[in-house]
Amino acid sequence: MLVNACELALLVLLLVGAGFDLFVFRLPNWLTLATALAATLLIVARGTGLTDLAWHLGFAALVFGIGLILFRLNMFGGGDVKWLAALAIWIGPNLDFVRFFLMMGIAGGVLAAIVLVIRRLRPGYGSEGTRTNLPYGVAIAVAGLEFWLRKGAIAGTIAGLLAG
């Protein structure tokens, strides 16, 4: 029951995060904390042990550290870095994170093209003084949704119901 609640929470958090970044250009701290908390509860509920939890949290710390460097180089926003680290707790140190990162990059490229079109139609979209924002939380959410659909127990149940 707790596993299903955590997975549903992730789905809602991904959708809310994408919406926030798309319209407000911010990923609030409560979103990051809720994502990290739900991931931690999921790992505990699955009963895989403290070692597994430690690996996931350590990996999230590594992702956060790399993200801080990218933030300092103005390549990522602070909210993006924090949310990526929280999602790294979900995914863990495995090849799924590589797939997540590739999906995020592809979604980010498509997002950039769409935002260019939007800015032609609505010139002030994303502008903040001399800076122009890209709501990259949308790309993060798309990659997270792909992970959720592929790995989540609820998504598997839904797919089974649709196929059968």
What span, in angstroms and rounded, lies between the C-alpha atoms of 76 and 94? 23
pLDDT, residue 101, reads 95
Task: Give 109: exposed, middle or buried? Use CB within 10 Å, 0-12, 13-18, 19+.
Answer: exposed
pLDDT band at 160 (very low <50, low <70, confident <90, very high): confident
Give domain limits for the chain: 2-163
pLDDT, residue 36, reads 97
pLDDT, residue 146, reads 95
Q: What tokens appear for 27 in the block?
A: 């990923």
pLDDT, residue 125, reads 86
Q: How many CA atoms does the CB half-sphere of 153 hold within 13 Å?
A: 9
Average pLDDT over residues 59-80: 95
What span, in angstroms and rounded, lies between the C-alpha atoms of 42 and 53? 10
Render 71-115 in DSSP notation, one character per residue: HHTTSS-HHHHHHHHHHHHHH-SSHHHHHHHHHHHHHHHHHHHHH
- Please give the model's pTM, rounded to 2 decimal places: 0.91
Q: Which of 127, 122, 32, 133 is nearest to 79 (CA)?
A: 32
What backbone phi and psi angles, to 5 degrees, belong to 132?
Answer: -115, 125
Q: How many CA atoms does the CB half-sphere of 160 hold within 13 Å?
A: 6
pLDDT tens, residue by residue, 14-44 = 999 999 999 999 999 999 999 999 999 999 9
pLDDT tens, residue by residue, 91-136 = 999 999 999 999 999 999 999 999 989 988 988 888 777 777 889 9
